[in-house]
Amino acid sequence: MKKYIRLYIIFIKYSFMQAMMYKADFMIWSLVTVGWIFLNLLFYQFLYLNVTEIAGWTKPQLLVLLGFYFVIDFFLWGVLWQNMRKIPEIINRGQLDLVLTKPVNTQFLLSFKGIGFDDIHGLLIGLVTIVYALSIGNIKPSVADILLSTAALGVALVYIYAAWFITVCAAFWFDRIENLHLLFPSLRQIWRVPQPFYKGILQKILTFVIPATLVTTVPAQFLLRKPSLPLFITLIIFAVVSLKLSTWVLKVALRHYSGASS
């Protein structure tokens, strides 16, 4: 474990150096990220102009969830994006041969080699949004609430990573399908609103088939002091199963992989 922590720190330093080499691009994309975030915040301000709550969620409560959405977006675009979008390319061009020669876990190397620092503002604004929302809503979570919320966020991130990794591994079999890496991120709009916003069969599908609604709802519920243990357990099960499945899928895919010679 220490070996991989040290290696990831090296990846972070290298990615930061790359970002500083192209400062103009860094600034432009940083402004784009911040602008998009404030448009989202503005949308929710208008949403509550004439109502005090929607599906049982007040504006401060929804802003807490939106803060988690921003934090998860940083993980999606800042931590995973640069790696996930390259996996199909690495497979199709036979570059995986070189990766397989490294004395490092292949899945780790494919998943976490690059970091996008131009999305770091999303993480900071997300945390500020959560603190601000708790303040205006006079919501005072306990230390236990904060720890459970953080744990739930961690579980959600594991699920997001594993599910996305599984989808891009389809490139081992379907090399002609372009933009495979965009398939999973297209679900992110689903978790921009709480699970109760969805009704009927759609809510059941987005909870117990593809638990996209849970990745922001469950962490927010703990912080808002209205946790749902069944939803948390559901998210844990999906995260554990997806992570194990991602490892298994890669092993099967590597047996299928024919290398650069093909």
What CA–CA distance (Å, rounded) separates 262 from 247?
Answer: 24
What is residue 108's predicted lDDT score, i.e. its pLDDT?
96
**Residue 142 phi, psi dihedral angles, 5° rounding:** -80, 175
Q: b or e along 124-137 (b: 16 or more beta carbons within 10 Å of the residue's beta carbon)?
A: ebbeebbebbbeeb
pLDDT-derived band at 48 (thresholds 50, 70, 90) equals: confident
Give the single-character DSSP code of 170.
G
pLDDT-derived band at 117 (thresholds 50, 70, 90) equals: confident
- The model's pTM is 0.91
What is residue 81's predicted lDDT score, i.e. its pLDDT?
93
Contact (CB, 8 A) for 61 and 137:
yes
CB proximity list for 106: less than 8 A, separation 6 or greater: 99, 100, 250, 254
What CA–CA distance (Å, rounded) separates 133 from 45?
Answer: 12
What is residue 63's predicted lDDT score, i.e. its pLDDT?
94
What is residue 26's predicted lDDT score, i.e. its pLDDT?
67
**Residue 179 phi, psi dihedral angles, 5° rounding:** 60, 35
Distance of CA 159 to the CA centre of its chain: 8
**Residue 152 phi, psi dihedral angles, 5° rounding:** -65, -40
Contact (CB, 8 A) for 206 and 195:
yes
What CA–CA distance (Å, rounded) separates 257 from 93?
Answer: 12
Structure tokens at 171: 């490139």
Q: Rounding to the nearest 10 degrees, give the CA dihedral for residues 168, 169, 170, 173.
A: 140
Task: State the residue for tokens 């709802």.
Answer: 217
Give the single-character DSSP code of 54.
E
pLDDT-derived band at 68 (thresholds 50, 70, 90) equals: very high
**pLDDT, tens digit (0-9, with 9 covering 90-100), for 2-35:** 888 999 999 988 888 877 777 677 677 677 777 8
Residue 42: pLDDT over 60: yes
**pLDDT, tens digit (0-9, with 9 covering 90-100), for 214-259:** 999 999 999 999 999 999 999 999 999 999 999 999 999 998 777 6
Phi-psi region for residue 53, left (φ > 0), alpha (ψ -120 to 50) or beta?
beta
**pLDDT, tens digit (0-9, with 9 covering 90-100), for 136-164:** 999 999 999 999 999 999 999 999 999 99
What CA–CA distance (Å, rounded) separates 242 from 235?
Answer: 10
What CA–CA distance (Å, rounded) separates 207 from 220?
Answer: 16
**pLDDT, tens digit (0-9, with 9 covering 90-100), for 162-187:** 999 999 999 888 877 768 888 899 99
What CA–CA distance (Å, rounded) separates 105 from 100?
Answer: 9
